Amino acid sequence: MFEFIDVKFKEIIDLPALCFERKKITTLIGASGSGKTTILKMLNKMLSPTHGRIIYNHTDLRRINSVAHRRQVAMLSQNPAIFEGNIRENLLIGLKLQEKDLPGDDAVLGVMEQVKLNKPLDSPVYTLSGGEKQRLALGRILLLNPEVYLLDEPSAALDENTEEMIMQMVTGHVRKKNKTLVMVTHSKAIAEQYADTVIEIVSGRCFRRGENNERDH
Ligand SMILES: Nc1ncnc2c1ncn2[C@@H]1O[C@H](COP(=O)(O)OP(=O)(O)O)[C@@H](O)[C@H]1O
Ligand SMILES: [Mg+2]
């Protein structure tokens, strides 16, 4: 689905050949500063390679409109923006920006259940903890219903139990809906437990790529 051909980003990334497969779950692991976030941002066209090219569905990403691209390929950043206002407004803001139809409260509450947030939609967001804000931002991405999810350490602020619940929900959702997921995680255990492919990045290079062939879909 994504093919990197001789991609470099400044001195940070050097990926002669790397692909991310459609309808698969790929996890990116590696030390802090190794380039994982930079790779996600290139998949989302927030950054463009300084050398080489990235092919998305047979088309060079440079030839694809960034806004149109991000409708299909949505990224949850490591420190997602939370806006003033209530939970409902924060969940719907992505759809509003993309000028899509807004769902009713039933659908919004369905997403709240998916991300394990049990709060009234009218609650102000300043009452939420860091982990709850991260899940709120994940809910916002789920509502966008993109083809490809790019999640940058989505469970970094969560305790172990919540992390497990959220990982099961996200990966279950992606498989059930036939979506594609590329996820950065700090946890090797999570990476191996849930992914079809684990890519280890060292100093901006692909150090190891492992396929989890035993996974039973
Ligand atoms: N736009 C940028 N321009 C130059 N250097 C950057 C840019 N973004 C990140 N860096 C640097 O690139 C390296 C990799 O960063 P990053 O991709 O955020 O790593 P990771 O997500 O694996 O922790 C870091 O040294 C960081 O400081
Ligand atoms: Mg990062």
pLDDT tens digits, residue range 13-27? 999 999 999 999 999
**What pLDDT, in 10s, does the model give residues 95-144?**
998 888 999 999 999 999 999 999 999 999 998 998 999 999 999 999 99
CB-based contacts of 133, cutoff 8 Å, min separation 6: 80, 82, 125, 157
Beta-ladder partners of 212 = none
Distance 38 CA to ligand 1 centre (A): 6
Instruction: Give the mean model confidence (pLDDT) for residues 11-40.
Output: 97
Closest by CA to 153, choosing from 12, 32, 66, 56, is 32
Q: What is the dihedral of CA 140, 146, 149, 154, to 10 degrees?
A: 10
Residue 154 lies in a domain: yes
Burial 125-144 (b: 16+ CB within 10 A, else e): beebeebbbbbbbbbbbbbb
The verdict on residue 75 lying in a domain is: yes
Are 146 and 73 a contacting pair, CB within 8 Å?
A: yes
| Residue 144 maps to a domain | yes
Ligand 1, residues 12, 27, 50, 207: which to mutate, most atoms within 8 A of Cβ? 12
Quote the number of domains for the chain. 1
What gap in Å lies between CA 1 and CA 198, rounded to an integer? 16
Q: How far apart (Å, rounded) are the C-alpha atoms in residues 217 and 206?
A: 26
Atom of ligand 1 nearest to the CA of 34: 22
Residue whose CB lies within 8 A of the most ligand 1 atoms, among 11, 13, 38, 206, for a mutation test:
38
Whether 54 is in a domain gets the answer no
pLDDT band at 157 (very low <50, low <70, confident <90, very high): confident
Kind plus residue range of the DSSP H or E element containing 7:
strand 2-9
**Contact of 130 with 81, CB cutoff 8 Å:** no
Ligand 1 atom nearest 184 alpha carbon: 21
CA of 35 to the centre of ligand 1 (A): 6
Query: Is 124 a member of any domain?
Result: yes
Q: Is the CB of 38 under 6 A from ligand 1?
A: yes
Ligand nearest to the CA of 35: 1
Per cent of the chain over pLDDT 90 is 89
Mean of pLDDT over the chain: 94
Q: What is the pLDDT of residue 214?
A: 67
CA-nearest residue for atom 2, ligand 1, is: 38
From the CA of 41, which ligand is nearest?
1
Domain of 203 in residue numbering reads as: 23-46+66-211
User: What's 84's DSSP letter?
Assistant: S
Tell me if 11 is assigned to some domain: no
- C-alpha to C-alpha distance for 217 and 208, rounded to whole angstroms: 24
Kindly state the tokens that stand for 72.
């299909």
Q: Is 79 in the pocket of ligand 1 (CB under 6 A)?
A: no
The two tokens of residue 64 are 């694809």
Tell me the Ramachandran region of residue 29: left when phi exceeds 0, alpha when psi lies from -120 to 50, beta otherwise: beta
CB 20 within 8 A of CB 2: yes
Distance between CA atoms of residues 44 and 11, nearest Å: 20
Average pLDDT on 157-177 reads: 94
Placement of tokens 């709240």 in the chain: 112
Q: Is the pLDDT of residue 216 over 70?
A: no
32 Cβ inside 6 Å of ligand 1: yes
The atom of ligand 1 lying closest to the CA of 31 is 22
163: domain CATH number is 3.40.50.300
Provide the edge-to-edge strand list for the sheet that holds 180-184: 73-76, 148-152, 180-184, 25-29, 197-202, 205-211
